[in-house]
Amino acid sequence: MIRSILVPLDGSAFGAQALPTAAAIARREHAALRLVCVHVPTAILPFAGATPVEADAERHLRADADVRLERIARSVAHDYGVPVTHALLDGPVVETIDRYARDMGTDLIAMTTHGRSGLRRAWLGSVADGVVRRTRLPVLLIRPRRRPSRRLRLAAFRRVLLPLDGSALSERAIPAAVAIAGPVDAEFLLLRVVPPLSVPKPWVAEYAVYLEPSDVAQRLEAAEAYLDRIAGRLRDDGISTATRAIAHGQPALAILDEAERAGVDLVAMATHGRGGVARMVLGSVADTVRRRAPAPLLLVRPES
């Protein structure tokens, strides 16, 4: 269940593109929306270390940011009919967002992967990386576009890709994905990647493994049976589910290829799954998918 969604903003149009999606989810789930902006003084921006802090100017900039944030909160509350609060914070950006999210009992952080261009008061792009690595909360990452799709604005995630590696940790992304996409309208595609035998040496990822051909067939059969078990539980809850097991030397590329092939609206995965070089390691895989996913990405960092 999602009761509270936090959306970090940096004052840019690109940074605000997560707002419609987050608000649509909040409306569907009857959740509260929290908007937050972390004020970054000019003197500590990149390449601005020699710029002195002018107290009056900083106060005006901070006050303007607070007014903009309040205006956005009122607009979203009116347009979507959801409770919206806002906060202008100070401190290290990533740590401040994470601490505020935990203090406020947030269930989901929704943010874009890039914010303002240029150097002036820009932070949202790099902050997305930091938040994903630091927080224990689910994070919905949205890549900003010149023209966001209507489905994205409405949070209409009709087809959701769920990569699993056979571990209980990887399966912990499922409840969050169902909550965000909605159990009624979405179809969930469960994917399991089995590394094959002969992969050209220059392309072997550190988490790939060599298997005998007969073993690949057995692993694929076991992967299909595993996915069928997970799918069966979801179908018992009335959730439309499909499965796909494939042999591929690089799990991250397999996930990206499948996302393109299936035309998914959302990819949802755990940031850590099985350990060891003999199996798919979702920590490194998730990092590659995060940088190249063609659709919004939900990352869940499970407690081990």
Name the range with the highest mean pLDDT among 142-146, 181-185, 206-210.
142-146
pLDDT given at position 173: 94
pLDDT given at position 108: 97
pLDDT given at position 279: 38
At residue 274, does pLDDT exceed 70? no
Amino acid at 8: P
At residue 119, does pLDDT exceed 50? no
pLDDT per residue as tens digits for the range 42-57:
655 555 454 555 677 7
At residue 197, does pLDDT exceed 70? no
Of residues 149 and 69, more confidence is placed in 69
Of residues 142 and 40, more confidence is placed in 142
Of residues 255 and 50, more confidence is placed in 255
State the chain's mean pLDDT as an integer: 84
Amino acid at 81: G
Distance CA 179, CA 142 (A): 17
At residue 185, does pLDDT exceed 60? yes
Let me know the angle formed at the C-alpha of 260 by 135 and 15, rounded to the nearest 5 degrees: 40
**14 pLDDT tier (thresholds 50, 70, 90):** confident
Nearest to 126, CA basis, from 4, 8, 17: 8
At residue 177, does pLDDT exceed 50? yes
pLDDT given at position 46: 52
pLDDT given at position 52: 55
At residue 234, does pLDDT exceed 70? yes
**302 pLDDT tier (thresholds 50, 70, 90):** confident
Query: Do 115 and 122 form a contact (C-beta atoms < 8 A)?
Result: yes
At residue 218, does pLDDT exceed 50? yes
Q: Which two tokens stand for residue 120?
A: 């002036």
Query: Do 34 and 148 form a contact (C-beta atoms < 8 A)?
Result: no
DSSP string, the chain: ---EEEEE--SSTTGGGHHHHHHHHHHHHT-EEEEEEEE--GGGSTT-TTSPP-HHHHHHHHHHHHHHHHHHHHHHHHHH---EEEEEEES-HHHHHHHHHHHTT-SEEEEES---SSSTT--HHHHHHHHHHH-SS-EEEE---SS--HHHHTT---EEEEEE-SSHHHHTHHHHHHHHH-TTT-EEEEEEEE--S---GGG--TT-----HHHHHHHHHHHHHHHHHHHHHHHHTT-EEEEEEEE-S-HHHHHHHHHHHHT-SEEEEES----STTS--HHHHHHHHHHH-SS-EEEE----
At residue 275, does pLDDT exceed 50? no
**75 pLDDT tier (thresholds 50, 70, 90):** very high
pLDDT given at position 213: 60
Distance CA 207, CA 224 (A): 21
Spatial strand order in the sheet of 240-247: 84-90, 32-39, 4-8, 108-112, 139-142, 297-300, 266-270, 159-164, 187-194, 240-247
Nearest to 123, CA basis, from 273, 197, 12, 228: 12
**122 pLDDT tier (thresholds 50, 70, 90):** very low
Of residues 239 and 277, more confidence is placed in 239
**98 pLDDT tier (thresholds 50, 70, 90):** very high
CA–centroid distance for 144 within its chain: 13
At residue 117, does pLDDT exceed 60? no
